[in-house]
Amino acid sequence: MDWMKIGSALLILAMIIFLFPRAKQMLRDSPEAKPGDWQGAILPIMAVVGFVLLLIVMV
Amino acid sequence: MNRLDYSVARPAADALQVNKVIRNTYTLLSATLFFSALMAAASVMFSMPPMTYLLSLGGAMLLIWFVLPRTANSAAGLGVVFAITGLMGFGLGPILEMYLSLPNGSQIVGTAFGGTGVIFLGLSGYALTTRKNFNFMGGFLFAGMLVVLVGALANIFLQMPAFSLAISAVVIMLMSGFILYDTSRMIHERDSNYVMMTVSLYLSIFNIFVSLLQILGMTSDD
């Protein structure tokens, strides 16, 4: 195994360790979504997916 | 006698504060993106070795975790933001060089660059014009990011190209969610800090660009 793989694994592991408490807190404290909220978020993200597919076809 | 009607003055003051945070964030973001691009160009010019990406990213992460939270409310925070974005831009050099060496490399890099710009402007414009509150997405986005990191860690050892492609696709969707979430925080959170917001948006843009490069590189005909 080369040093790049070991370094990448260590960096990702450190990110997981630092992100875990924040994710736990966010899951606990985030406000509940109201009806229609998710729809308002998923629509633009689906537009991004469509745009990326278009870029793939173009290249 | 104080004749100021606070029921009118308070929302007006809040709106001014929100506009100030948005203006400062986008000004700083533009400057850091330009600086980051300059550093990436310098890194390509000097033909930096692949390890540069890892070291730069590691250095930037240390600054984000340990230095930025302590300096975000002072003038030193601006220097830290430029150090973070400069390091991350410099780290991009070896990756850009690798893609530029492909037969249609310049087209892939150009498309990823333009595509990232369109995605960011489109999502920011959507969040700013609709003024929807995307705060409810916070828990989902952070949990999703953790799952992606675990997947990326596993793929370092598994070395599955299809899985790598799937991770890049999920990262683009998650980072799009983060752009909506962060832009909405600028509008709806009174105490949002423009230095922290800039770094947060920069990370989303950086991750979208790198993931888009990877997807376009892997799916390219050449």
* Calpha distance B185→B133 (Å, rounded): 8
Q: Does the pLDDT at position B1 exceed 80? A: no
pLDDT category at A30 given cuts 50, 70, 90 is confident
Tokens of B11: 């929302």
Alpha helices in chain A (DSSP H): 3-29, 37-58
Chain A environment of B140 (Cβ under 8 Å): 30
Which of the residue ranges A3-7, B131-135, B159-163, B165-169 would you say has the lowest mean pLDDT?
Answer: A3-7
Average pLDDT, chain B: 92
pLDDT category at A2 given cuts 50, 70, 90 is confident
Partner-chain contact A41 B180, CB within 8 Å: yes
Partner-chain contact A19 B149, CB within 8 Å: yes
The pLDDT of residue B6 = 54
Average pLDDT, chain A: 92
pLDDT tens-digit map of B4-44? 555 555 566 677 777 889 999 999 999 999 999 999 999 99
Q: What is the dihedral of CA B134, B139, B145, B146, to 10 degrees?
A: 180
0.85 surpassed by complex ipTM: yes
* Nearest CA-CA distance, residue B67 and chain A, Å: 14
The pLDDT of residue A59 = 85
Handedness of CA B85, B90, B93, B95 (dihedral sign): negative
Amino acid occupying residue B198: T
Q: What values do phi and psi take at B192, rounded to 5?
A: -70, 140
Q: Does the pLDDT at position B52 exceed 90? A: yes
Which of the residue ranges B8-12, B190-194, B201-205 would you say has the lowest mean pLDDT?
Answer: B8-12
The pLDDT of residue B10 = 59
* B19 vs B197, higher pLDDT: B197
Q: What values do phi and psi take at B57, rounded to 5?
A: -65, -40
pLDDT category at B3 given cuts 50, 70, 90 is low
Chain A environment of B67 (Cβ under 8 Å): none
